[in-house]
Amino acid sequence: MADPAKLELLTRPGGEAGFQKLRDRQPPRYWAHKPRRLPQTEWEVTAQPTGADGARHFVLKKSFVQDSYLLLSSKEYYLWDTSTPR
């Protein structure tokens, strides 16, 4: 039978130069810390005018609280749009 899955993390204690390897045989407790998409009411995407080279870009306003923006290419927008829950 195969060994159970394990998670190995490199950690560096404060004030030390080297890393320590932290092993955990129960990764589900780390699943709570994985990135999650914000609710759709907390971000918006706006199409920008087509550039001189014909490229289309989009601006993702990531946070209404902090005014955080990200410029997306057409391919990046496609990935963002297809991963949006409907």
Q: Is the pLDDT of residue 65 over 90?
A: no
Q: What is the pLDDT of residues 7-20, one digit of tens each?
A: 677 777 777 778 88
Tell me the average pLDDT across 52-57. Answer: 90
pLDDT at 4: 64
- Which is it for strands 57-63 and 44-47: parallel, antiparallel or unpaired? antiparallel
Q: What is the pLDDT of residues 3-52, one digit of tens each?
A: 766 667 777 777 777 888 777 655 566 666 666 777 888 888 999 999 88
Tell me the average pLDDT across 64-76. Answer: 86
Burial class (CB in 10 A: 0-12, 13-18, 19+), 28: exposed
Backbone angles phi, psi at 78, to 5 degrees: -60, -45
